Structure 1
Amino acid sequence: MAGNVVTRYENVVKSYGALTVVKGLNLEVRRGEFLSLLGPSGSGKTTTLMMLAGLETPTSGRILLDGVSIEGIPPHRRNIGVVFQNYALFPHMTVAENLAYPLKARRMARPEIGSRVQRALEIVKLESLAERRPAQLSGGQQQRVALARALVFEPSVVLLDEPLGALDRQLRETMQLELKQLHSETSVTMIYVTHDQGEAMTMSDRVAVFHDGNLLQCAPPKQLYDEPESAFVAEFVGENNRLSGTLVSRDGEQGSIKTDAGMMVASRLSSKVRIGDQVLLYVRPERASIGVAAGTCENRFEARVVDTIFQGDHTRLRLDFPASSHFTVKQNFFADTGPPAVGDRVRLGWSAQALQVVQA
């Protein structure tokens, strides 16, 4: 396993005076993977990235790159590519000159520089723009140049600090797919910082969720979505309906929970939850059903429709029932009858397997 790990954080702490922004971080980054560091502003994700880049220094702990501590190694000798949100391109240089700059700094021979620049331009499909300057490029093209410059010297790792944040939504979504394809073609290890959960879920092999300087969970996107290990992850990654209650019985991985409103709910359980524990229950809007479909669910309740919003590929309903006054359901199809109207009484249900339970 050690040979498959390109970067390792070991008990890394970063403080600025009395403020600790990274708290005892232990994290392994696998060779060739796309890992996203996800969290709100101030969660410690960018500081984690910058310590690896050499632009910040750990207060304690150590960081290994290819099994060697990088303490004391200057940034330009770490063989790490970095892409910033503002691209940091040299405005007076052409695209080709921007790409050649890190190679010249490494004193590579001119023929080698030329071939590497050409290869990098081909990877990002900008061969025809080699002689243009950054000001003559669109935002998406500048992003590609920044990526090419980070890849041109064949680094061990490429670090990306919210590189799509300055783009409009449509271009950002296009660049997400292009970046994912680029990673697939190059197999370079990429560590990507973002506060956008959709971005992280779209591109990543694994997602590391940060909050208040702590790494809460690191897992593949589907596991993170289906099996959150904390209330913060359950609420930050995707949309969720939250109920609260007490675990009153369990039989293996199944249990019964009495909600604070007095309703009994059947649920799957993790091994961490014990009888008598105060728990939070989460139901994804798309995993709840209404009407006839709710009749086959283990958990069934009567609810009143408060609001309906047509959103193209689905209709979003907000429901009111004893355990929640703002329960959201997403339904893709309503046969010939159309969605229920505001004020209608409907049957609401979800399966025990659809419920996520964490300790309160």
Structure 2
Amino acid sequence: MTDDIIGRYESVSKSYGGLTVVKDLDLDIRRGEFLSLLGPSGSGKTTTLMMLAGLQSPSSGHIFLNGRPIDGIPPHRRNIGVVFQNYALFPHMTIAENLAYPLKARRLPKPEIARRVQRGLEMVKLHAFAQRRPTELSGGQQQRVALARALVFEPSVVLLDEPLGALDRQLRETMQLELKQLHRETGVTMVYVTHDQAEAMTMSDRVAVFNDGKLLQCAPPREIYDRPESAFVAEFVGENNRLVGTIVASGEDGCTVKTDTGLVIRSRPQPGLAVGASVFVYLRPERVLVGPAAASCENRYVVEVADAIFLGDHTRLRIDLPGNPNFTVKHNFFGDARPPGPADRIEFGWTTRAPQVVAT
């Protein structure tokens, strides 16, 4: 294991009776990164986190931390901080006492405990609330306390299991930015579980996408969005239009797909997909160009707008395209130009770099 890898799952599986919830997982955690485990409910992401925390044990395979196997090491000896959605604060203790608890459990000297508690409170901007109890704080403040308690004993890794799930949308978005800032300031490795794709894309250095117990792709957010390696990732992360077709030409200069309804779509080269392969072609609504902007596109069509919804910064167009009657376009318009409306015939298209082509 290299110095830049702090944690590793090697062929890890977890089963409950006849149900396998994590399947043959291989995953490296890089030192100092913010890694999000993203997927729908039941995809295996929380079980993956809990096995690293030591709250569950793998059925097979091995987990390593700082180059050493941690099989059989109890949770309190793994030097890992954990933050849960329900905060898990001690209601009878003050905020300062909550932060001091993991330090006392490690038998640190009193002056060192006091120093770290003060630093932790300042880190999350709650030094004025040291003598309050959790019930006297808002949900966002309680979450800050939980974060500070997980960081105060200087763990190797902090694990966060949907910690913002109980907050309202506005506070949740604020906390996302604060948590990312806290990550930058501390440099601690963070592994974050969420089912919210926007949250994962906003905060992460890398995103690991899970479904049905399997890790499907792990990459930076931009790569997950622009280069999905499976139909599930393409459809789960962001919004996509889907067409079904067959590759009719493929080479170093590009790939051509003919859809089941006769449309011919040209894309960038698609290594690993041969002529005759059945594929899905995905197109992000914002990558589709309308009007004069479409004139230079390699893929260009004239169609009628089925519906148009004005949303302020853009108009959402629905096009009855052969093979997808709900093909969606996000069209930005400027100045006094009238955006397209229902029954208007428009020219629209996309470049060869826009389609995402994956095997069915």
TM category, shorter: over 0.9
Greater CA drift, 286-295 or 54-63: 286-295
- Please state whether the residue corresponding to 1:118 is helix, strand or coil: helix
| Structure 1: distance between partners of 2:299 and 2:249 | 16
Letter in 2 for 1:131: Q
Aligned to 1:169: 169
Q: Which residue is 1:128 aligned to? A: 128
- Contact persistence 1:37–1:207 (CA under 8 A): yes
Kindly state the Cα deviation for residue 177 of structure 1 after the two structures are TM-superposed: 0.4
* Matching residue of 1:290: 290
Check conservation: 1:253, 1:270, Cα contact below 8 A.
Answer: no
Q: Report the CA distance between 1:331 and its aligned residue.
A: 1.6
**Where does residue 234 of structure 2 map in the other structure?**
234
Size of the aligned set, in residue pairs, is: 360
- 3-state secondary structure, aligned to 1:111: helix
Partner Cα separation in structure 1 for residue 303 and residue 166 of structure 2: 42
1:215 maps to which residue? 215
| CA distance in 1 between partners of 2:302 and 2:323 (Å) | 11
The whole-number CA distance in structure 1 between the counterparts of 2:274 and 2:12 is: 32
Distance 1:303 1:20 in 2: 47
Q: C-alpha separation between the residues in 2 aligned to 1:69 and 1:102?
A: 24
Could you state the TM-score of these two structures normalised by the residue count of structure 2?
0.98
> Deviations along 1:220-240, whole A, 9 cap, x unmatched?
000111111000011111111
Further displaced range: 25-34 or 291-300: 291-300
Q: CA deviation at 1:334?
A: 4.4
The answer to whether the 8 A contact 1:269-1:357 is kept is: no
What is the aligned partner in structure 1 of residue 308 from structure 2? Answer: 308
- Report what 2:254 is aligned to: 254
In the alignment, the residues of structure 2 paired with residue 158 and residue 32 of structure 1 have an alpha-carbon distance, to the nearest angstrom, of: 10
1:37 corresponding residue in structure 2: 37
The one-letter amino acid of 1:281's match is V
Moved over 6 A (4+): none
Matched residues in 2 for 1:207 and 1:180: separation? 14
Letter in 1 for 2:315: T
Q: Which residue of 1 aligns with 2:349?
A: 349
- Give ranges in structure 2 of 5+ residues lacking alignment: none
Query: Shift of residue 312 of structure 1?
Result: 2.3
The offset of 1:336, in angstroms, is 2.0
Gaps of 5+ in 1: none
Aligned-partner residue type, residue 286 of structure 1? E
CA distance in 2, matches of 1:57, 1:96: 33
CA offsets 1:86-125 (integer angstroms, 9 cap, x no match): 0000111110000000111111111111001011111111
**Separation in structure 2 between the aligned mates of residue 281 and residue 210 of structure 1, nearest angstrom:** 21
Counting only pairs closer than 5 Å after superposition, residues 304-343 of structure 1 correspond to structure 2 as 304-343=304-343
Contact 1:7 1:65 in 2 (8 A): yes
- What RMSD over aligned residues (CA atoms) do the two structures have, in Å? 1.0
Q: How many angstroms apart in 2 are the aligned matches of 1:350 and 1:31?
A: 39
Counterpart AA for 1:145: V
Instruction: Work out the CA distance in 2 between the residues paired with 1:317 and 1:188.
Output: 44
Report the identity percentage.
70
Secondary structure of the equivalent of 1:292?
helix
TM-score by length of 1: 0.98
* Cα offset, 1:253, TM superposition: 4.9
More deviation in 252-261 or 141-150?
Answer: 252-261
CA distance, structure 1, for counterparts of residue 118 and residue 193 of structure 2: 28
Contact 1:302 1:321 survives alignment (8 Å): no
C-alpha contact (below 8 Å) 2:251/2:269 kept by paired residues = no
How far apart, CA to CA, are the structure 2 residues paired with 1:313 and 1:131? 46
Which is worse superposed, 300-309 or 83-92? 300-309
Determine the structure 2 residue equivalent to 1:112: 112
> Could you say what secondary structure the match of 2:48 adopts?
helix
